[in-house]
Amino acid sequence: MVIDLHSGGTSPLYLPCCLIRVGKTAAETAQLIELMHAFGAPIGSISDGSGGGGATTLSATAQALGIPALATELGGGASLSRAGETLARDGVLRVLKHMGILPAAIVEPAGPTRSMRVDGRQAFTYAPVRGIFEPAVTLGDEVRAGDLAGTIHPIAGPSESARSVQFAQSGLVACQRARHLPSPETACLSW
């Protein structure tokens, strides 16, 4: 079993979530969904593995070896989240108890997990130019395709106009860059 705990790093902010890749079989996928719910993050994300590192991730390697793997994002913005720390501890204990590894573990029951699907790279909204990003949404907002994600104010000079960035698909804003000087690869995610 692999449980890969992350806290968003220095730039992205995440809603607390547990991430899994679709298994090789329906039975593998069902087991991973069960473990995701046992972990108990408010958001459970199911991905085909095409985004965020694809085949180079720890989850992809575990999957290739037939080892169940969960990954998490529990905060971000280079800060400590007490709620994320508590969820990491309790979630790991719940999974270990669920698998019979620590059957006597005392832990609060998991709350509900909202299962969502990440549809590859098109689930991300990217900055088309370098500049100062002014977000139009916050984490947890529900958005529709075409909604304004934010405005980029280019830093190349006053002759460049501000550029609007729209969401390509409907979903939930699950992560967002914390820094406001995005380069063209910076993304905001809707699931």
Q: What is the pLDDT of residues 74-108, one digit of tens each?
A: 988 777 788 889 999 999 999 999 999 999 999 99
- pTM to 2 decimals? 0.83
pLDDT band at 109 (very low <50, low <70, confident <90, very high): very high
How many CB atoms are located within 10 Å of the residue 25 CB?
A: 9
The residue out of 70, 85, 118 marking a domain boundary is: 118
Co-location of 130 and 100 in the same domain: no
Parent domain of 176: 120-190
For the ranges 9-13, 117-121, 135-139, the maximum mean pLDDT occurs at 135-139
pLDDT value of position 131: 85
Between residues 78 and 182, the one the model is more confident about: 78
Can you tell me the distance from the alpha carbon of 165 to that of 37, in angstroms, rounded to the nearest whole number?
34
CA dist 180 and 11 (Å) reads 9
Among 118, 139, 159, the domain-final residue is 118
What confidence score (pLDDT) does residue 51 get? 63
Contact 84, 19 (CB under 8 A): no
